[in-house]
Amino acid sequence: MLILKIFRRAEWDAFRAEGVTAGAPIDLEDGFIHFSTPSQVAETAARHFATESNLVLVAVDADRLGDALKWEPSRGGNLFPHLYRDLRLSDVVWDKSLPLGATGHIFPEGLL
């Protein structure tokens, strides 16, 4: 199963350069890296990145993360994937730009 992480372009660039990340500022504050499932990611983008256009959507295979990935209740009691270790570039399956259109973010075709 693919899980998704939205990065600001500068965060993504730093992650690519270092090969590892502890996440965005919210992740550092909360002590884990926030992910969304494909059915959750559009709401995540709308809630937390509504006006941001220079974003990167990153897909990770949940099965590769082992016991460090926990499914925990969050927004509306839904279970969200939270990673309790650094994310490694080798964990990433693909990355795509996530542009902001007139009615919200434009996700890769077939994802949602």
User: Is residue 86 a contact partner of residue 103, using CB atoms and an 8 Å limit?
Assistant: no
74 lies in some domain: yes
* Domain range enclosing 15: 2-100
53 lies in some domain: yes
111 lies in some domain: no
19 lies in some domain: yes
- Coil, helix or strand for 82? strand
75 lies in some domain: yes
pLDDT tens digits, one per residue of 33-67: 999 999 999 999 999 999 999 999 999 999 999 99
105 lies in some domain: no
57 lies in some domain: yes
Q: Is the pTM of this model over 0.85?
A: yes
What pLDDT is recorded for position 75?
76
CATH of the domain at 29: 3.20.170.20
Work out how many domains the chain is built from and give that number: 1
